[in-house]
Amino acid sequence: PEPPKKPSNWRRKHEEFIATIRAAKGLNLKDGGKLPPPPPPSYDPDYIQCPYCQRRFNENAADRHINFCKEQAARITNKGKLAADTKGKLPTRTQYKPAPVKKMPSVGSTPSPSSRLPQPSGVSKAVVGASSGKALSSSGSGGNKVQTLSPAHK
């Protein structure tokens, strides 16, 4: 009832590995010259090649992959046909063009309330005491301290 064992090809794999290592040792990357062409890839004769993408898989993976790759290849060819039909149409997206920037005078101007980013101000505003409800007090004494408001609290 046991399936027959395939002959081991470890010796061939080992020889390929040794040849690859020897070829890599012969390279001198400090010279800055061109790299030699890579050695040809070795193919395992037990692997099955996919007719759609030319990759190789073992038997179990090949059965699953070939069905998947067949569906994907059918989808890609359908998309290619649709794209050829729509070449006469205008593109659906257009390039974004921002509105022209309106310049405001910098001296004495306040940043717009819609802006969430702090805006640098040409003149710092100082509040004496706690006369404004928006002024922040670091100590709860309410003394005559000079405080500056951050742009977020204006």
pTM: 0.37
User: E strands, 44-95, where?
Assistant: 48-49, 56-57
Query: In this structure, what token pair is assigned to residue 151?
Result: 């742009």
What digits encode the pLDDT tens for the residues 96-140? Answer: 888 888 877 666 555 555 667 776 766 555 555 545 445 444 555
| Cα–Cα distances in angstroms (integers) from residue 26 to residues 20, 34, 37, 47, in the given order | 10, 13, 13, 31
Which residues does 66 contact at the CB level (< 8 Å), separation at least 6? Answer: 48, 50, 51, 52
Size of the chain, expressed as the number of residues it contains: 154
Q: Is the pLDDT of residue 152 over 80?
A: no
pLDDT score of 71: 92
Answer yes or no: is pLDDT of 82 > 90: no
The whole-angstrom separation of Cα 124 and Cα 9 is 81
**Which of 31-35, 46-50, 58-62, 89-93 has the lowest average pLDDT?**
89-93
The larger pLDDT score, comparing residue 25 to residue 138, is at 25
C-alpha distances (whole Å) from 6 to each of 3, 9, 10 are 9, 9, 12
Residue of 88 and 30 predicted with greater confidence: 30
- Check if the beta carbon of residue 125 is closer than 8 Å to that of residue 149: yes
- Look at the block and give the residue holding tokens 């022209």: 100
Q: List the domain boundaries for the chain.
A: 44-81
Using pLDDT thresholds of 50, 70 and 90, give the confidence band for residue 69. Answer: very high
